[in-house]
Structure 1
């Protein structure tokens, strides 16, 4: 499979908008993905596998959200490189934490795809202060 087209990318990342389709997104993430969350917040660091990222990072966020289905992300923008190897994806969550606090978070994920169309590397950027507040207030 060649690198994903802009249309493929929109379809792929739109799967993050619902727990019912989230697995379709993660089916395209390599088991040994190199996922880095930048910054100095509670989840910053390097995750050496899909399982580690889903369990530790995504699981932590999902655990403080009011919605039992977890984080639901809406695609705002996607910019793909000419060769299709890299894509920058801007995502937004408009949700509430268990204590009622708004969790209106924007993410930018820089994703690298291999020749099979699998995501093999991600660098994630977001408002770490907001994340820390939500985690502290919903511990």
Structure 2
């Protein structure tokens, strides 16, 4: 009887080890997929063919941390796009181009550290450094926290009047 219990115990331990290995492999796969998803979006943004905002779920919550004029929590993709991204882009003569320093991944969370630069409608450069903490679910961004230089952002926001037609345009 003791021998049978010993075999059952070893079998249970082996089964648990296999399950843990399978779970670790699945988590590694998710981590790799999340990193690749954000990397592709940042590359598309740099190339002018797309970007990370394309990945936002309709109910994504985006928080701009700190004390900039745009700092608050936006409860949906549309709120964030209409209150921040479209008005920001309407202040730009040339689009913002990101330069990624690094992407850090932990499970469903990707931290993107990057600089971005473009030319404002008044001909002056806009340059800023960013850190975004992005939570993904099924390849979509569902939660974001953004950190950046509020002084650079606020200077652009107050100095440059947005082109009105761009602010009103809906995102596709």
TM-score category of the 2 structures, normalised to the smaller one: 0.7 to 0.9
**Superposed displacement of residue 58, structure 1:** 0.8
1:137 counterpart residue number: 159
Aligned length: 132
Which secondary structure does the structure 2 equivalent of 1:73 belong to? strand
Please point out which of 38, 47, 51 is paired with 1:9. Answer: 38
1:79 counterpart residue number: 104
The structure richer in helix per residue is 2
TM-score of the superposed pair, with normalisation by structure 1? 0.83
1:101–1:134 contact (8 Å) kept in structure 2: no
2:88 counterpart residue number: 61
2:140 counterpart residue number: 118
The structure whose RCO (Cα within 8 Å, separation 6+) is larger is: 1
Q: Deviations for 1:4-54, whole angstroms, at most 9, x for unmatched residues?
A: 5133431132222244223xx334221100100011111111111111111
CA distance in 1, matches of 2:66, 2:47: 27
**Judging changes above 3 Å, is the alpha-carbon distance between structure 1 residues 26 and 137 closer, same or farther for their aligned structure 2 residues?**
closer
TM-score of the superposed pair, with normalisation by structure 2? 0.69
Unaligned ranges ≥5, structure 1: none
**Superposed displacement of residue 135, structure 1:** 1.7
Structure with higher Rg: it is 2
Structure 1 consecutive aligned stretches of length 4 or more whose deviation exceeds 6 Å? none
1:91–1:107 contact (8 Å) kept in structure 2: yes
Matches within 5 A, 1:19-98: 19-22=48-51, 25-67=52-94, 70-81=95-106, 84-98=107-121
